[in-house]
A and B are shown apart, each in its own frame.
Chain A
């Protein structure tokens, strides 16, 4: 069964450093997402991406964050200058985006990247 994959599984970085989290969405999916989960808290939406553009973003997704689809398979989240509070599990998700009835498709999640900022 197709699945979303993410690398690395765990990233440790120093405060102020740039990090890039990588995701390979399910191959026929058109919508891609990033969510984050601070330890012990709920999952929060960061951004969605469709047709090489940001579709929606949350207030968390400020200028320090950017997303890119550099090729036909990868989807990346870049944090330019990491802060301690960026430590969290980052989940990538994708959805088919084929339905035209107005029903949102199910979002399928990857296993997550645990980011630790020291």
Chain B
């Protein structure tokens, strides 16, 4: 069975602090895909990133970076110099290879609150 665990339910930081959101997954598949989505207070789900299980290169996009470690089944997300606009619930999700039209399996989400 596949499972995604985001152990941090809520994180609160002060603006300009760096923050890392943890994501640990379980799957028996050797090829799979991992995603991060952001859910701001307005409620929509915004796609942030997709990673393939065979590509363990870290990725940086502006203030966002992602650390994928297959050995520990983790796909952590770091926001550098956080801003109030980063306040949202962040979801990590998993889908298996070849699963076109298949389901995303989401973690419970981490609610990030960035205070001014």
Mark A residues whose CB is within 8 Å of B.
31, 33, 35, 41-45, 48-50, 55-56, 58, 89, 91, 93, 95, 97, 99, 102-112, 114
| Most chain A beta-carbon contacts within 10 A, residue among B44, B45, B108 | B45
Inside 8 A of A56's CB, which chain B residues have their CB? Answer: 101-103
Mark B residues whose CB is within 8 Å of A.
31, 33, 35, 37, 42-47, 50, 52, 91, 93, 95-109
Inside 8 A of A89's CB, which chain B residues have their CB? Answer: 43
Inside 8 A of A114's CB, which chain B residues have their CB? Answer: 43
| Most chain A beta-carbon contacts within 10 A, residue among B44, B93, B97 | B44
Question: Is B44 touching A48 in the complex (CB atoms < 8 A)?
Answer: no
Interface of B (DSSP majority class): loop
Question: Is A111 touching B42 in the complex (CB atoms < 8 A)?
Answer: yes
Query: Within the assembled complex, what's the spacing in Å between the Cα atoms of A55 and B31?
Result: 21
Query: Within the assembled complex, what's the spacing in Å between the Cα atoms of A56 and B95?
Result: 13
Q: Which of B50, B96, B108 has a CB less than 8 Å from the CB of A106?
A: B50
Inside 8 A of A97's CB, which chain B residues have their CB? Answer: 100-101
Measured between C-beta atoms, what is the minimum distance from B47 to chain A in Å?
6
Question: Is B33 touching A104 in the complex (CB atoms < 8 A)?
Answer: yes
Inside 8 A of B106's CB, which chain A residues have their CB? Answer: 42-44
Q: Which of A31, A43, A93 has a CB less than 8 Å from the CB of B100?
A: A31
